[in-house]
Amino acid sequence: MNKLVPLIYNKLLNKYGSQGWWPVYSLRNTEGRDNRGYLIRSVSIDPGRDFAPGEFFKFEIAIGAVLTQNTAWTNVEKALSNLIDLNLMDTKIISDIDQKELANVIRPSGYYNQKAKKIKILTRFLLDGDYLKDGNIPHRTDFLNLWGIGEETADSILLYGYNFPVFVVDAYTKRIFTRIGILEGSENYEEISRIFTDNLEKDSVIFQEYHALIVRHAKEFCKKKALCERCVSKPFCLGTVN
């Protein structure tokens, strides 16, 4: 057991509070959501069981997971807003729409030609497998076999869309936990993911929150140039630089 993994989770949660992921843009300003679609929760060690986005919004989460590749969420919001305003957030419509037209609509997210192709392939897959139906969860390997869907995207859809307990790994996870000393830095995606799943309660809510907290921490303190002085991980971090 690596006791630092749950300890750092609690430290980050105490510091930042629940992050309210995954933001569902079309649910913004509805009960329990803020004006960007994030869940509103009180700050607590146990963030509660209210992460489940509902079956209807799985599709939006899947689309968002593709749109967010290599771009900031603010750009994703613009692309989602276009899709919603034009009444295109529908599996059948996305499946039928001309790829170039779709690319134009999601242009604010960058890499829009590639992303339009990915979204159409992903949508076809979800439709063919009836994977938006309650309880019908796609296999991770089936996601990975789709063009343009890598591990981070597949796991984001599974974790936030389906509440399936996989741990999402990104460059921030690598950076923070290598600096702290939990990772050596040479581990692959699966090895990193296992360090979290092996040392935490197997609970999708905790995995959802932890990943969101890692992103927050990487943006606020453990940046490229780390701000260690007031970091909550400083007492156990081997990479402290000041």
Contact footprint for ligand SF4 (CB under 6 A): 176, 179-180, 221-222, 226-228, 231, 233-234, 237, 239-240
Enter the tokens of residue 131.
């994977």
Q: How many CB atoms are located within 10 Å of the residue 107 CB?
A: 17
Decide whether 176 or 195 has the Cβ nearer to ligand SF4. 176
Nearer to ligand SF4, 125 or 172 (CB): 172
Q: What angle do CA 202, 151, 18 make, to 5 degrees?
A: 50
CB 226 to ligand SF4: min, Å: 4
Of 220, 117, 204, nearest in space to 168 by CA: 204
Q: To the nearest whole angstrom, how small is the minimum distance from the Cβ of residue 100 to ligand SF4?
A: 43
DSSP annotation of 42 = -
Whole-angstrom distance, CA of residue 14 vs CA of residue 229: 17
CB-nearer residue toward ligand SF4: 8 or 83: 8
- Minimum distance, C-beta of residue 204 to ligand SF4, in the bound complex (Å): 25
Give, as one character, the DSSP assignment of residue 147.
T
- Alpha carbon separation from 105 to 80, 101, 126, 216 (Å, rounded): 9, 6, 21, 29
Q: Which of residues 204 and 233 has its CB atom nearest to ligand SF4 in the complex?
A: 233
- Report in angstroms how near the CB of residue 217 gets to ligand SF4 at its nearest: 7
What's 29's DSSP letter?
Answer: T
E-assigned strand segments in the chain: none
Choose between 41 and 234: whose C-beta lies nearer to ligand SF4. Answer: 234
Cross-strand pairs, 33: 39
Bridge partners, residue 39, by sequence: 33
Rounded to whole angstroms, how far apart are CA atoms 118 and 70?
Answer: 14
Residue 142 or 220 having the CB closest to ligand SF4: 220
Distance of closest approach, residue 38 Cβ to ligand SF4, in angstroms:
24
- Note if the bond before 147 is cis, omega within 30 degrees: no
User: Quick one: DSSP state of residue 132?
Assistant: T
Question: Closest CB to ligand SF4 among 93 and 228?
Answer: 228
In the complex, the smallest distance separating the C-beta of residue 181 from ligand SF4, rounded to whole angstroms, is 9
CB of 221 to ligand SF4, least distance (A): 4
